[in-house]
Amino acid sequence: MLVRRIARPLLASSFVYGGIDTLRNPQTRVPGATPVVDQIAEQADKQLPVQVPRDVEQWVKVDAGVKVAAGLLLALGKLPRLSALALSASIVPTTLAGHRFWEHDDPKERFGQMSHFLKNLGLLGGLLIAAVDTEGRPSVGYRARRAAQRAADATEKNIEKAQKRAAKAQKKAEKKYKKASR
């Protein structure tokens, strides 16, 4: 559909551009990302058996790489649902790190950060729609349920056939037994 071919690259463009910009100059994003990385790493260390790296610049670069790769895939229409899901997962920490409007006292700065925060929420909404868009084809869940139902129906038919053959074989054996008994 033409709308998808136009909408996906438009949605992906800000992620690709922002990701490339961040990969070129990650140091500008490190101060904002530090509290988010620290909080995520602290929670992960409590729940995972391994220690999560705390190098904030490394996490910023990984996030930027995800944005570029998934953004390009989304723009090209390759694995669009998976790439939209990856971008959705990526935009949440980015938004929390980069647009902390609640920490600003200056009304203009607060308004600017809130605008960017809300813009990212809108992008997240678009990504979630893209992540569930099956392009008119049945979803994986539907296809799995249908395949399971077909397998159950086929198994049931095979069991019925086997029971009929067993009953037929039993009757034949009984006839032979009666013939042999005489």
* Mean pLDDT confidence for 31-54: 88
Percent residues over pLDDT 90 in the chain: 68
Answer yes or no: is pLDDT of 63 > 80. yes
Integer-rounded Cα Rg, in Å, for the chain is 29
* CA gap 81, 139 in Å, rounded: 11
Could you identify the residue written with the tokens 């509290």? 35
Q: For residues 73 and 83, is the Cβ–Cβ distance under 8 A?
A: yes
* Mean pLDDT confidence for 124-141: 88
Q: For residues 71 and 83, is the Cβ–Cβ distance under 8 A?
A: yes
Q: What is the CA angle 152-158-162, rounded to 5?
A: 145
Answer yes or no: is pLDDT of 139 > 80. no
What is the overall mean pLDDT for the chain? 92
- At residue 1 the predicted structure's pLDDT band, cuts being 50, 70 and 90, is confident
* CA gap 127, 133 in Å, rounded: 10
**How high is the pLDDT of residue 15?**
96
- Is the whole model's pTM more than 0.75, yes or no? no
pLDDT in tens, 146-175: 999 999 999 999 999 999 999 999 999 988
* CA gap 8, 149 in Å, rounded: 35
Answer yes or no: is pLDDT of 22 > 90. yes
**How high is the pLDDT of residue 178?**
84
Q: What is the dihedral of CA 52, 54, 56, 60, to 10 degrees?
A: -10
Answer yes or no: is pLDDT of 142 > 90. no
